[in-house]
Amino acid sequence: MARSKAAPFPPFVEPQLATLVSTAPEGDMWLHEMKFDGYRILMRIEGDDVRLFTRRGNDWTGGMPSLAKAAAELPVEDAMFDGEVVALRSDGVSDFQLLQNTLSSRGESKLVYYVFDVLFADGEDLRALPLLERKARLAEILKDADKQRFRLSDHVVGEGPAFFGKACELGLEGIVSKLADRPYRSGRNKDWLKTKCTKRQEFVIGGFTRPEGTRSHFGALHLGARDEKSGDLVYVGKVGTGFSTKSLGELHRRLEPLVVDEAPFRDPPGGAEAARSTWVKPVLVAEIDFTERTKDGMLRHPTFKGLRDDKVSAEVVVERPADRGRKKKRRS
């Protein structure tokens, strides 16, 4: 039986990541949680010192000072939590654009941290424990926490397809399914699976077109994703909807210093489209909603949802649902 153990408290732990699948898994060995539309944050508490880290280990404590201050009141001497910082609409659904607007307007005191795992607590390394045991420990820690700032990510056991269907009916992004008896394992693996209600993915911004009509700053963003084998930035189309007047201006200000002479894509658009385009270094990452991809890989009906400052452009590849690795039974 796995046990927690006394261990040195590391400054950071690489988070566990879910693998995209096309259907939610069945069976009572799986528990299922809502997939939140926010920023993945690991919270490290050591006495009065609280730090908030992105999945890449960047320190974002300064951008969420009231959340860090509230964490110092939790009943632990030291702890490391894994969860998602979100902004909630009036219907209780997390909204990424609302999150970005909240942060840019310095309204971060309205943010909520949904916690779904605890890795360390009071001198113990809990990562070897089964997930259900870690969640029980987490529930005990958070039972008296300020619910305006900290919420336990609830789960259901089994009934994955039904839970996924309900999540989609409620307009959620999707669900995350986790094997209940597994330890916490850093990196992407199939102990955690994610199933999405909508086709949403991050893409790298490689350029923009001139504005037309009453539009200001730019018309559309040129997008790409890395080829996993070659590392080349493959063109997937452009997005021209989902922007507000404010976001057009803010995005343009961030794109201007990145302007370069040549397109960063392996197969950039040419002709008249290239003539009205300005190319940029492939640094910024955008989150995009779309309905489907064409046979040649282009996005259909894309909509801009926001920038992902927590993501690194070199790691943005096209997400495709993975085979869960079920083996067919051999005939005797």
Q: Which structure tokens are listed for 314?
A: 């070199």
| Amino acid residing at 59 | D
Q: Which structure tokens are listed for 251?
A: 């995005």
The reply to whether 166 belongs to the active site is: no
- Tokens 């002709």, located at residue: 271
Written as one string, the DSSP assignment of 193-262 is: EEEESSEEEEEEEEEEEPP-TT--S-S-EEEEEE-TTT--EEEEEEE--S--HHHHHHHHHHHGGGEESS
Report the alpha-carbon distance of residue 15 to residue 54 in Å, rounded. 9
273 sits in the region (left: phi over 0; alpha: psi -120 to 50; else beta) called alpha
Catalytic residue (choose from 5, 35, 147, 305)? 35
Q: Which structure tokens are listed for 179?
A: 């094997």
- For the chain, the first-to-last Cα distance in angstroms comes to 35
Q: Which structure tokens are listed for 57?
A: 């280990």
- Tokens 């282009």, located at residue: 298
Would you mind telling me the total number of residues written for the chain in this entry?
332
Q: Which structure tokens are listed for 131?
A: 């997930």
- Tokens 């989609």, located at residue: 168
CA dihedral sign of residues 60, 61, 64, 67: positive
H/E stretch holding 188 reads strand 187-196
Q: Which structure tokens are listed for 137?
A: 């420990």
- Angle made by CA atoms 252, 254, 257, in degrees to the nearest 5: 100
The answer to whether the beta carbons of residues 76 and 106 sit under 8 Å apart is no
Q: Give catalytic residue positions.
A: 35
